[in-house]
Structure formats: structure tokens, C-alpha cells
Amino acid sequence: MKINKEGYKIIIVSGVCLAAVWTLLYYMIEARENIWLLSLITVLLVMFWFFIVSFFREPRRIKIHDADLVFSPCDGRVVVTEVVEDDEYFKGKRLQVSIFMSVTNVHINWFPVGGIVKYFKYHPGRFLLAWHPKSSSENERTTTVVQTANGTEVLFRQIAGFVARRIVSYVKVDEEVHQNDKCGFIKFGSRIDILLPENAELLVEIGDRVVGTLTPIARIGDFGVEDADE
């Protein structure tokens, strides 16, 4: 199992800390007389460390390239599909799809479309629960806009949650990016919003489980070209 580079430091530090806890407990509980208790604690600490390691797992994924489709940028569950008013970039209505990532999901993020990065901004903010409606505008987050070859602009936001406290983005403005390449990482539970042309064809529903790079969430085709020119 490959481990994402964002996890190296946390995995090492957590391993050292858990080893220190085990050593302290070994001397506190008189291990020879309470071998069963020490064994239980050892199992629990090892399981917890492996959970941390598994959080930063980086699975191999097939990279599908289809300019007509928007693929899920992350693993998780669809929690929002609605038309919203975007005040940050588009200054108008867009179809929003939001995907919630639990702590058990893979937390690598991928580009949902390919093209040129037209906009990127980091927003400091709060740490509301990721499924809270205000998390899209009040939580710590990044905003990225990619313009596809046909002129359609797709916006997506990495949003920190109650547990997530670190957003990593590999995005650079004016850079050419490829669909389903890695674009970042969100540590320990979070959410991603994708804003599409209002007339895009939605391919998922609330409650659907999606897999990053593999699940198409919308069909855009030539949709949005008029919006981009306005």
C-alpha cells in the first residue's frame, strides 16, 4: 500500500507518541501482573496507529479522460445537488454538487476536469461540521477554477471540516492540468463543492457513493460556453 507524502510526518510523530504512551503504561500498570491488560492496550494502540496510516493511503486509480464529463474529485457521499448563487467568482447561478468525505475515506483530491487553472484562492475560516450549509462560505477552504478546452469553467472548493485542520493544494494559476491528476489533500474528514454550469446534466443524486477519478458526476459537453463568454 502506497502512502501519500502528506502523511509521512504525522505517521512518524504519532508512532513515536504511541510508543511513549505504551512505555509509560507498561511501568504504571505493573505489566507482569496485568499481562492481559497490557496486551489489550497494545492491540488498541497498534490498531489506532494503523488507522492513521490507512488514512493517508494512496490507491492506484485508472485515469479516465473525457472532456464531456466531470469526474468526482474525491471519494465520499453526495450531500448536496442544488442551484446556488456564487458570489466569489461567477457572480451568478451555478449547479452545486457537494461530496462529504468521512475519516474512513481516501482523502486525496483529483482534478474533476482538465484545462487551464484560471483562478485559485485560499480562504482562512472556521471549522464547522463539513455538512453544515454555511461551511461552503465560512470554513477554511480553497477555491480553484479550471477552464476546459471548450471554454467551460468548473469551480471546486476544498473545505475543511470539524476534524480536518489542514488543506493541501498543488494548484498554480495559469498551469495546464489534466483530468484526474492529483490536485491536493485534506487531512481528517472534509468536503468538496463542485460548481458547474446551471444547465449541466447531473449524473448523481443525494446519498450516492462516489469514487474519485472513476465516478462521473455530471456531463458538461458544450454546456457553459455561452456562460463563459458573457
Residues labelled as active-site residues:
190
Provide the residue count of the chain. 230
Give the E-state strand segments of the chain in sequence order.
69-71, 76-86, 92-101, 108-110, 115-123, 141-147, 153-160, 166-169, 176-177, 182-187, 190-196, 201-202, 209-210, 216-219
CA 73-139-181 angle, 5° bins:
20
Alpha helix (H) residue ranges in 33-191: 35-55, 135-138
Instruction: Confirm or reject CATH 2.30.30.100 for domain 69-229, answering yes or no.
Output: no
CA 195-74-146 angle, 5° bins:
40
The Cα–Cα gap between 27 and 31 comes to 7
Quote the pLDDT of residue 226: 41
- Asked whether 179 and 66 are in contact (CB, 8 A), the reply is yes
Quote the pLDDT of residue 54: 75
The Cα–Cα gap between 82 and 67 comes to 23
Quote the pLDDT of residue 163: 52
The Cα–Cα gap between 59 and 20 comes to 31
Q: Can you give the residue ranges of every domain in the chain? A: 5-55, 69-229
Buried b (16+ CB within 10 A) or exposed e, 107-137: bbbbbbbbbebeebeebeeebbebeeeebbe
Quote the pLDDT of residue 114: 94
What does DSSP say about strands 76-86 and 92-101: parallel, antiparallel, or unpaired? antiparallel
Quote the pLDDT of residue 126: 58
The Cα–Cα gap between 159 and 217 comes to 18
Q: Which residues of the chain have pLDDT under 70?
A: 1, 4, 7, 30-33, 125-139, 161-165, 188-189, 222-230
Quote the pLDDT of residue 162: 57
Alpha helix (H) residue ranges in the chain: 8-28, 35-55, 135-138, 225-229
CA 15-19-20 angle, 5° bins:
120
